[in-house]
Amino acid sequence: MTTNAPPAPHSLVVGEGFVDPLGFHDARPTFSWKLPEGARRQTAFRLEILSGDDRRDTGWIGSDQSTFVPAPGLPFSSRQQATWRVRFQDEAGRKSPWSIPARFELGLLSASDWSAQWIRPAGDAPQDREPVGLLRRSFPLSGLADLRHARLYVTARGLFRLQLNDCRIGDDHFANGFTAYQKRLHTLTYDVSTLLRVGENQLEALLGTGWFAGRLPFQAKTRGPYGLHPELLLQLEVTRADGARETVVSDDQWEGSFDIPVRTSSLYDGEDYDARHTAKHWAPVHSTADLGPAVLVPKPFAPIRAVQSLAARTVAEPAPGRFVFDFGQNIVGHVRIRLPARKDRTLSLRFAEMLQPDGTLYTENYRTARSTDTYTPDRDCLLEWEPVFTFHGFRYVEISGLPDGVRPAPDSVTGVVLQTDLRPIGRFASSHPKLNQLQSNIIWGWRGNSLDIPTDCPQRDERLGWTGDAQVFCATSLFNQDCHSFWKSWLATMRDEQDPDGVVPDIIPAAAVTWRNRSPGWLDAATFIPWDVFVRTGDLSILSENYRMMEKLVAWYRSQSVDGLLPNIKGYGDWLQPYRQTPTDPDVWMGDRVGDTPFPLLGAAFYARSAQVLAQTAQVLGRDDNARCYRDEAGFVAAAFSRAYFDANGRLRIAPETQTAYALAIAFDLLPTALRASAGARLAALVREAGGHLRTGFLGTPHLLAALDQTGNSDLAAEILFKETYPGWFYSINQGATTLWERWNSYSHEEGFGDAGMNSFNHYAYGAVGQWLYERVAGLAPDPAHPGYRHFFVRPLILAQLDHAEAELDTPHGRAAVRWEKMGDRLLLEVTVPPTATATVTAPGSKEGRAVPPGQHRFEHHRHA
């Protein structure tokens, strides 16, 4: 090794970004690493994997690939442990030392690995509430001196919380999550080596209804979309130094009870705890040896965890004995209390996102969700407590039932923020406080709506995986957090739920929902999301895994089309578009909320775009013949769209003309080149007629600013972005918003609250503007031709409303960053390109880009005021 060898690679990850995973899900893992700062190119690498006597060494491979490198040799097996390391050769032929070793361990990959049975407390659970059961079993261990390790594998039809010898196992919440339970169940793996003891050991499991057996909307029965009885499947394996394995499983040797302090726990309604009920009335469990039809797979993304704690900022008493704590931020999770309590006197905790003018809670927008936790103590005490199987969307909590004369301090109640534990990877900032608040609102909205699945809202009696919301926001989410594995898993559930005819349910998982609205923009999550994730990660498998699903959706569109158009399609339209003018169609569900843009126009636009994405996907996967066919299909539909809906002057034939129709036509590239500029001019005119405001709903808003920008109207795009009045992003901020809202006017100081039937104050869909903040305001945009930021574009839009803006992103290759600042008559532009990547920098006002290599670059330009 020469003395001037480059430093070793770092940031070693397996699969979709896992660091030293325990219970990994893929028998054929891929490996990724980053080159050290200062490195420019990798010309070769050497990968070594050690697993017992199995040593796999690739030798030196001439390649610049440093992401998603497949493992050499045969697939790995269940429980297999391995360490791996890598080194690289740079452009000068210098070889780095080996990296610090990383490791991974497989979970149980096959049903044949399980000897456990499904168990639950015997007897009929109360049907008037969502009961929580307690399961337990004792087992002996003769000694631990020769212990190699102990692993606990577990899943549930419902939710679980485990203890071993009175110690909680894991730090996750709702760990197995929400899948299409009839098709797929996620299993968890825990290292419990340090929790075992010589002699008698005791395992305990709380078992809640959760999404499996709890209350969900849009179903005829009160609860139980998948079944009425939550069940547990558990397997503890104690491995000795000689490889011998002792196993404790869920079976008929356990006992269970419903007569426990946790009386009921509901995702929507909250949790009731009565300390006067000590666990008793134990009985043998009900057990089932048949594992059922669902595939058991190790959970392929991070679980939900408590990622942050917030202290209450203020406490008020708007009514005697009712204390309202304000956390200053709309969050999702629960609260932890430390309060005095009196025997037999129930403490009640009620949650809300907003307050009424008199300071009491506004809860009408929760609809039927009770969102209340209670605790009844069995003695006078200083109570420290938090719930187990519920969560709430809230900024405020009202506590009543305290001892007479007690006025609680703000720090007696802590907000516990729950979120799928996704790693933050991006940052956007600017010189404008409200634009920075918008970015904060986007992040908090996503945090609150990414509890295991992407939900529409986290507070009312819904909280479901609406596909339309997800597809408009996916690209923005990938700028802010490492959501790669999150989206990949949700797409697997989408494949499970796709109908034979190609239709994707409106909600994923579909739960008990049997209806299909077949709505453009919602259906297309099946095509848009795989492509968005691929472009931003470079993971080819997300396209190959979902290719058939994408094909089936486009085939369904084709089956419904007449000469490339979709005259009979309906759906949700441009949902919640403000200032709707079209008369309500009584035959359309919630027809007053669907916007003015005609369903057939939306259908043709999204059909064309999905066909475009499918053609690009086929090309990337090397399916050239398919790519050609789908490209022709997309062109045919786009031409039909243009002829049907635009005249020779690039103007819409429909009335009223809508911003959304123009925005989609431009953003999806559906118009001939000759009409594009005139369509952009007409879109700009519509914006001016609206006083510089948007008139778009869920489908048009994500594309409006980009469409204006692409047609030379970036000044109008900026005017919309910075607009202080309704409707616009700053309008809600001016009303105190700390997350994105479902409606542009969910609340105003002058008019109060909007329609409570559809009035979420944490709804991320309009946060899709975050993509434009990164890609154009800061100027950091991916290149689909070189996915995973192997190459990216730097094209900042220097806005009159800003003095500076910046963005940074931890890409698969390292840190990429852009910052621009006005300095008198000069403009300073700073760009960071990570190792192995390149960027094309286009200076403001220039049409020519400049290629730049890895490293830090500084540019100065004369600025025209």
Residues tagged active-site: 462, 742
Please give the structure tokens belonging to residue 256: 């269970």
Distance separating alpha carbons of residues 545 and 798, to the nearest angstrom: 40
Q: Return the CA Rg of the chain.
A: 28
Q: For 722, what's the count of Cα atoms within 13 Å in the CB-facing half-sphere?
A: 15
Element (H, E) at 815: strand 814-823
Amino acid sitting at position 218: F
**CB of 366 closer than 8 Å to CB of 392:** no
Buried b (16+ CB within 10 A) or exposed e, 426-437: bbbbbebebbeb
List, as own/partner pairs, every contact residues 402-407 make where C-beta atoms lie below 8 angstroms and the sequence separation is at least 24, other chains included: 402/321, 402/323, 402/339, 402/340, 402/341, 402/347, 403/340, 403/341, 403/342, 403/345, 406/339, 406/340, 407/315, 407/317, 407/323
- DSSP helix/strand/coil, 201: strand
Q: Which residue has the tokens 């690995």?
A: 113
582 close to 543: Cβ distance less than 8 angstroms: no
Contact in structure between 351 and 394 (CB atoms under 8 Å): yes
Other residues' Cβ atoms within 10 Å of the Cβ of residue 65: 14
Amino acid, res. 695: R
Q: Which two structure tokens, joined as six digits, stand for 202?
A: 């005791």
6 close to 96: Cβ distance less than 8 angstroms: yes
728's CB contacts (< 8 A; 6+ apart) are 693, 694, 720, 721, 744
Q: Determine the longest span between alpha carbons in the chain, in angstroms.
A: 86
Q: Distance (Å, rounded) from C-alpha 53 to C-alpha 80?
A: 12
Crossing angle of helices 701-710 and 467-480, in 10° steps, is: 60
- Cβ proximity of 409 and 778 under 8 Å: no
Number of other residues whose CB lies within 10 A of the CB of residue 125: 18
Please count the other Cβ atoms lying within 10 Å of the Cβ belonging to residue 557: 27
Structure tokens at 74: 């045969």
3-state secondary structure of 543: helix
Q: What gap in Å lies between CA 77 and CA 103, rounded to an integer?
A: 15
| Measured CA distances, 788 to 16, 24, 591 (Å) | 12, 23, 41
ω before 454 within 30° of 0 (cis)?
Answer: no
**Which of 343, 446, 489, 578 lies closest to 15 in space, CA to CA?**
489
